[in-house]
A and B are shown apart, each in its own frame.
Chain A
Amino acid sequence: MTQTEPSRVAQQAQTGRPEWATLLRRKPRPAETVIQGLLFASGAISILTTIGIVLVLGNESLSFFTDSEVSLVEFFTGTRWQPQTGDFGVWPLVNATLMTSLIAMLVAMPLGIFAAIYLSEYASPRTKALLKPTLEILAGIPTVVFGFFALTFITPILRSLFGVDTVQIYNDASAGLVMGLMIVPLIASMSEDALSAVPRALREGAYGLGATKFEAAVQVVLPAALSGLVAAFIIGVSRAVGETMIVAIAAGATSQLTFNPFQAAETITGHIARISGGDLSYGSLDYRSLFALALTLFVITLGLNLISRWLVSRFREQYD
């Protein structure tokens, strides 16, 4: 196009009469092109972020695993995590992460789903307009505040209930319970979306056969929304696994492999926060081990999020 331009311009100049072909000709708009390029670059920053995460975590993890003191096998099978003595077995941290997440989900799942059923099937519009935003305030409170709540409120209650000898000051139970409370609004809101997406016709079908409201809600609507509920569960787990401040404050700084929820046990995130908060020399084995942990965390949460998204999209197809 650009090659033919000079001759056409010359032609036009000679005749002194603009041609339609010239008028309609595509004009180069450098500004538009530059702007579009900038906009694309902004969009691509999100890709760069992901690539950055993968590269940074991968690179440092690689140099961690290639260190003579560490082996991949030890990392994934070892039951001791004591960087001072060169023990880098990830299981104590993973175990504590799973424990706190499990406790959190045991709280959040029933509360969240029951609240969702109430809001979607029972509450009048006016009640719903009052209860739902109130519940959502919980979701907006910074997690460090939940950590404060766990340590200064829930832990003392647990200790007075079960005895100060049974319950340590730092323990997984308190962190898990409060994490559950934090996740309730997330589960409730995702589940309510799933329940509300079940067509009215299904409820009417059930009522028309002489089902009570409860029977229709639990035996027809709930199963129909199942994949949405599972998606909510998975996102909840992902949130619990990645949550840092509550466990950093309330679950303690002892990395140990224990199944007793009343004992202190450091999680993956808690460990990263504690070690990186101190004076850490760049390039040390400790420093690199944090990236290996962060990579583990990233892979777990990314996997969970992908599964959840897939489930939600499948659910949409079913009823569209």
Chain B
Amino acid sequence: MSNSTLSTTSTMTDSTRLKPLSATTAVDTERTETAIEARHLNIFYGAFKAIHDVSMAVEARKITAIIGPSGCGKSTLLRAFNRMNDFVPTARVEGEISLHGHNLYAASVDPVEVRRRVGMVFQKPNPFPKSIYENIAWAARLNGYRGDMDRLVEDSLRSAALWDEVKDKLKQSGLSLSGGQQQRLCIARTIAIRPEIILMDEPCSALDPIATIKIEELMQELKKQYTIIIVTHNMQQAARVSDRTAMMMLTEDGKRSGTLIEFDDTNVIFTRPKDKRTEDYVSGRFG
């Protein structure tokens, strides 16, 4: 990463945040690196505008949670970060998302490359109907991994805190695992291609509480190396796991587009939010 990119982004983040908050300024100045950034992002499905003018800079090696009422476009926004919306035939994106200063929606950018750099874990665990080993090795092989594959599989499974549970049955189908294990397998296969950013779309919503705790603990480990953006409808979870929280709402112009109304440190969002709607939502007075 070049120095120039670094300085511009930091200036920008600082300038947008400095004015209202004096208490957290000291902490803010430590935040320097932006991993990925949305600028004036609008997303349309046909004539319907799903996302209205979202700008947010996601900091590297932090967990950023996106919260908001259902149907406010959290998943749509998340999927914009790795161009998964490309598969919706009517979807159209305005504005930009920049990774290291490159607009991911520029005509010259290959969406396949983007998705390798920005990995994704889905709401429902979706391991491939292949062996546990193959689940991890497959994408690494596609992406031309040249190292020791056994090693990569083991490392990835260890990073996903799954190794001890599956090390004796690597040849078994990924579908034979429990839901929580499947989700960690999906995280492991994402880690195996070394993305910079991992998107998580309500990764625990299909899991039981114990499996959820494991994933949450895993996320704390992963953020040492990876930038994580997580969509969750569970506010307690957002408060527990994330460093930064983005609050989304539907616009009030009757068009029912989703937009970002507040983006700040998680403790600020949950204790002294600036926006009345955020306060209502996090205190359960919404709807």
Indicate whether A34 reaches chain B with its CB closer than 8 angstroms: no
Q: Which residues of A contact B223 (CB under 8 A)?
A: none
Q: Which of A201, A202, A207 contacts B87 (CB 8 A)?
A: A207
- In angstroms, Cα B193 to Cα A191, docked, is 32
Q: Which of B115, B138, B143 contacts A207 (CB 8 A)?
A: B115
The answer to whether B115 touches A208 (Cβ under 8 A) is yes
Indicate whether B122 reaches chain A with its CB closer than 8 angstroms: yes
- In angstroms, Cα B82 to Cα A207, docked, is 10
The answer to whether B130 touches A223 (Cβ under 8 A) is yes
Q: Which residues of B contact A204 (CB under 8 A)?
A: 84, 87, 120, 122, 126
Chain A, 200-224, CB within 8 A of any chain B CB = 201-212, 215, 219-220, 223-224
From known contacts A210-B115, A210-B116, infer whether A205 and B122 are also in contact, taking CB-CB under 8 Å: yes
Q: Which of A210, A223, A318 contacts B112 (CB 8 A)?
A: A210
Indicate whether B190 reaches chain A with its CB closer than 8 angstroms: yes
- Which range contains the number of B residues in contact with the other chain? 20 to 34
Residues 74-99 of B, flagged 1 when their CB comes within 8 A of A and 0 if not, give 00000000101001010000000000
From known contacts A124-B89, A219-B138, infer whether A208 and B129 are also in contact, taking CB-CB under 8 Å: no
Indicate whether B165 reaches chain A with its CB closer than 8 angstroms: no
Q: Which of A202, A203, A209, A318 contacts B142 (CB 8 A)?
A: A209
The answer to whether B119 touches A208 (Cβ under 8 A) is yes
Q: Which of B89, B129, B189 contacts A209 (CB 8 A)?
A: B189
Indicate whether A110 reaches chain B with its CB closer than 8 angstroms: no
Q: Which residues of A contact B189 (CB under 8 A)?
A: 209
Indicate whether B233 reaches chain A with its CB closer than 8 angstroms: no
- In angstroms, Cα B124 to Cα A231, docked, is 28
- In angstroms, Cα B193 to Cα A282, docked, is 74
Q: How far is the CB of A66 from chain B (nearest CB, A)?
A: 52
The answer to whether A223 touches B116 (Cβ under 8 A) is no
Q: Which residues of A contact B130 (CB under 8 A)?
A: 223
Indicate whether B186 reaches chain A with its CB closer than 8 angstroms: yes
Q: Which residues of A contact B128 (CB under 8 A)?
A: 202, 205-206, 220, 224
Q: How far is the CB of B177 from chain A (nearest CB, A)?
A: 15
The answer to whether A210 touches B113 (Cβ under 8 A) is yes
Residues 28-71 of B, flagged 1 when their CB comes within 8 A of A and 0 if not, give 00000000000000000000000000000000000000000000
Residues 160-202 of B, flagged 1 when their CB comes within 8 A of A and 0 if not, give 0000000000000000000000000010011001000000000
Q: How far is the CB of A319 from chain B (nearest CB, A)?
A: 9
From known contacts A124-B89, A199-B126, A201-B126, infer whether A208 and B138 are also in contact, taking CB-CB under 8 Å: no
Chain B, 128-177, CB within 8 A of any chain A CB = 128-130, 138-139, 142-143
From known contacts A215-B142, A220-B128, A223-B129, infer whether A209 and B193 are also in contact, taking CB-CB under 8 Å: yes
- In angstroms, Cα B138 to Cα A210, docked, is 11
Q: Which residues of A contact B122 (CB under 8 A)?
A: 201, 204-205, 208
B130's nearest neighbour on chain A, judged by CB, is: A223
- In angstroms, Cα B87 to Cα A202, docked, is 13
Q: How far is the CB of B136 from chain A (nearest CB, A)?
A: 10
Q: How far is the CB of A179 from chain B (nearest CB, A)?
A: 33
Q: Which residues of B contact A207 (CB under 8 A)?
A: 84, 87, 115
Q: Which of B82, B89, B113, B142 contacts A208 (CB 8 A)?
A: B82
Chain B, 100-126, CB within 8 A of any chain A CB = 112-113, 115-117, 119-122, 124, 126
Q: Which residues of A contact B124 (CB under 8 A)?
A: 201
> Most B CB atoms within 10 A — which of A125, A206, A210, A318?
A210
- In angstroms, Cα B89 to Cα A220, docked, is 21
* A-B pairs with beta carbons under 8 Å apart, 26 shown: A201-B122, A202-B128, A204-B84, A204-B122, A204-B126, A205-B126, A208-B82, A208-B119, A208-B120, A208-B121, A209-B115, A209-B142, A209-B190, A210-B112, A210-B115, A210-B116, A210-B193, A211-B112, A211-B139, A211-B142, A212-B112, A220-B128, A223-B129, A223-B130, A224-B128, A224-B129
Q: Rank and list the top 9 A-B pairs by shortest CB-CB distance, nearest first.
A: A210-B116, A209-B139, A208-B120, A201-B126, A205-B126, A210-B115, A224-B129, A212-B112, A220-B128
Given A205-B126, A205-B128: 20 more A-B contacts, CB < 8 Å: A125-B89, A201-B124, A202-B126, A202-B129, A204-B84, A205-B186, A207-B84, A207-B87, A207-B115, A208-B119, A208-B121, A208-B190, A209-B115, A210-B117, A210-B142, A211-B139, A219-B142, A223-B130, A224-B129, A318-B129
